[in-house]
Amino acid sequence: MKISLFSPLALALALPASATVSIEFQLGGIDVPAGSIGVLVADADGDENFTSPAKAAGAVLSNGEWIGGDVILAVFSRSGLPDWGAQKGFASQMAVLDYAALGLAEGAALMLHIFPQRTEGQTLRAGEPHLSYRTDEIGQRTSNSTMGFTLPADGGAHLLAVIGPDQQGNADLTSLDLRILPYTSGSGSFERALSSPTARHTYYFELGASGFLSLQGVADTGLVAQLIGPDGQKVYTGGGAGFGLYDTLAAGLYTLVLSREIGGSGALAYELDFANSDVRFVVPDIAVGRGLTSLVGSNTLDGLPGQSVVLASAKANPSSGYASIVNRGRLPDTLAVRGSAGNALCEIAYFEDAANVTAALRTGGYRTAEITEGDAGSALRVQFSPNKKRLRKKRGERTKIPKETFSTLVRAHSTHGPPAMDAASIRVPTR
């Protein structure tokens, strides 16, 4: 397919005798917001690296200006060519380029940056949302292209056309998907799919002041999520079958990039759920009992009364009870759990299945697996072992075990979101 806006031959005939170049640029169709601009830059300093616009605050988006070590060749608006259907792109003919005046030479690498909601002459902001595209693959260009993403030989008119399959081209443009995340609207969710192994979806939003972000994604295995902050650095990386970020962020521009792990095939569906306030909570709930089928304290929260069980220790024999830890909230969390230590008169030990987790419980270092509303949670066996030798009291000719009561308070705390806790006790009197 050839979308001809300008005739390279006619341009060549119109060029003056001096060594100058005219370039017609076409890239489409892609899914970027209305009001986006395209900025074509050349690697003027020859370091074979392009400066990220997110790290070039203050650079002016105008012809001949610099973004780090890259010089801007052209700034053009999103095109509405009917040939590209619902998807759009960029199509324009650059004014005649004077390599010498720009400090450029044949072979300098080119790259296209795409900026949403920007206009020519504006300056870049810290963390500026953008997409960047270039390719060295010949198959990505249409057959009538006369140049690639490098400056052609000085003199003449050239065409660089990169067209997607929906417009009968061969270019893979599935990474050029940019849209706003309506974070400032409060909360919301939507479902989309990465259409190919190379597809990338980029969302951007701005925090006018420091604020809380609740961001959760769910997908089949293979999703990769990266949140990039105002300084252009990653502030969060997650993925797999899902991810969750619940944190207070500094003011500024943020970009969320969703892609997939290497080796995936076919489309990858995902659901994105977000809010600018903590609409989900961690709700620890501890229940205790003689067995896991006879627990008390379920759905009694915040350490309120009614979460206690009394066991018996006849003749100071060992006695065991159980503590179940679940999360009644919709915010997934790995709960931190602490249990009381024993003393010289009674050892208290904690077991998860066959594993002795006493040391972790005593220090508060124990963590459950990540659990959320509806999950089974974790179960601990709590074993009391009174020290008979220390407890025995001799009264005349008789030796008796005096009445003593030993207890533990098992407490669970959230590790994500607002602080939340629950607590329940197990008491063992000797007789």
What does the pLDDT look like over 186-216, one tens digit per residue? Answer: 778 889 999 989 999 999 999 888 888 888 8
Residue ranges of the chain with per-residue pLDDT less than 50: 1-18
Q: What is the CA radius of gyration of the chain?
A: 33
**Distance in angstroms (rounded) separating the CA atoms of residues 376 and 400:** 43
Task: Please tell me the distance from the alpha carbon of residue 337 to that of residue 319, in angstroms, as a whole number.
Answer: 21
259 touches 216 (CB < 8 A): no
* Residue length of the chain: 431
Question: Which residue, 405, 422, 267, is CA-closest to 329?
Answer: 422
Write out the E strands in 102-176: 110-115, 131-133, 156-163
End-to-end CA distance of the chain, in Å? 92
**Which phi-psi region, left, alpha or beta, contains residue 101 (left: φ > 0; alpha: ψ -120 to 50)?**
alpha
Give the pLDDT confidence score for residue 116 in this predicted structure: 95
Q: How far apart are CA 369 and CA 350, in angstroms?
A: 17
Closest CA to 240 of 156, 154, 332: 332
211: β partners: 249
Closest CA to 102 of 173, 29, 165, 23: 23
Which pLDDT score is estimated for 398? 73
What pLDDT is attached to residue 290? Answer: 95
Dihedral angle sign, alpha carbons of residues 50, 54, 179, 218: positive
